[in-house]
């Protein structure tokens, strides 16, 4: 296993968990088997991220587009989600729980379970696990625009103009306003696209793609992704020279 620089662990890792269905198909099993195994991978990766000191882990769990999948598969996914929203992993590992997305579309019992888990884990501070449920970035951005429009009509925003709508202002309306943008985005399953995930937030994220299906993604591969991240120079539009510490100017 690669050795990591413990001082350069990404504060926020986001993962597009792709390949559950193809993993199951390759084994001659129903797609739901892949989703079940994928849940076990979530537990493994969550616990390792806590151990490494990652502060936020965001998992693309169910996209807005996933509602178009076969009805039976959606029902199975909702059942799996409900069964696994339990406090054992969260309390054992001191992990907080949050959800981003249009949860109004989820079954009422899952909405209730989400609220319960968020409240139960509100004081857990080792790491926050964020599930993107019924989520898409275009939906999120459109919602932010609608919310900004409504607020700009209110007396509390009297005197504000279009010049006040800065990037920082818009970010406060995003679903992710409670956490920093991802340092590292991982996608499993062999595809090399971001699939409508955190489009606003990943402007300067490092991207890492692997052919490994999510059910087979393990601790060693997580370390490989982080090691790759640590090998890169994050310039944020600056030159390498600008990032180097400048010598102190001594007075004559």
The catalytic residues are: 18, 66
Which token pair is 143?
């919602």
- Return the structure tokens found at 186: 């991982």
- DSSP-assigned beta bridge partners for residue 62: 133
CB contact set of 11 (below 8 Å; sequence gap of 6+): 54, 55, 56, 180, 183
In whole angstroms, how large is the CA radius of gyration of the chain? 20
Q: Which of 162, 178, 207, 182 is nearest to 49 (CA)?
A: 182
Mention every residue, 6+ apart, whose C-beta is less than 8 A from residue 119.
Answer: none
Q: What is the DSSP letter of 184?
A: E
**H-helix or E-strand containing 36?**
helix 31-52
Task: Report d(CA 35, CA 161) in Å as an integer.
Answer: 48
DSSP string, 38-52: HHHHHHHHHHHHHHH
């Amino acid at each position: 296993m690669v050795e990591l620089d413990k001082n350069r662990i990404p504060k926020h890792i986001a993962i597009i968990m792709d390949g559950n269905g193809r993993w199951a198909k390759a084994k001659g099993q129903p797609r739901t088997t892949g989703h079940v195994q994928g849940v076990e991978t979530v537990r493994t990766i969550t616990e390792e991220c806590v151990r490494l000191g990652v502060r936020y882990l965001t998992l693309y769990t169910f996209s807005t587009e996933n509602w178009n999948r076969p009805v039976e598969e959606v029902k199975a996914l909702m059942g799996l989600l409900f069964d696994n929203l339990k406090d054992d992993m969260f309390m054992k590992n001191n992990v907080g729980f949050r959800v981003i997305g249009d949860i109004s579309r989820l079954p009422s019992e899952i909405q209730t379970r989400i609220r319960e888990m968020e409240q139960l884990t509100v004081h857990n501070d080792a790491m926050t696990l964020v599930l993107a449920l019924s989520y898409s970035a275009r939906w999120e951005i459109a919602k932010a625009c609608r919310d900004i429009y409504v607020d700009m009509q209110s007396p509390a925003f009297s005197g504000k103009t279009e010049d006040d709508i800065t990037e920082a202002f818009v970010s406060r309306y995003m679903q992710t306003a409670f956490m920093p943008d991802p340092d590292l985005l991982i996608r499993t399953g062999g595809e090399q696209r971001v699939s409508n995930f955190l489009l606003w937030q990943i402007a300067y994220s490092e991207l890492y793609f692997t052919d490994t299906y999510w059910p087979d993604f393990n601790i060693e591969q997580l370390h490989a992704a982080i090691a790759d991240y640590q090998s890169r120079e994050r310039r944020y539009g600056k030159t390498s020279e600008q990032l180097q510490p400048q010598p102190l100017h001594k007075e004559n």
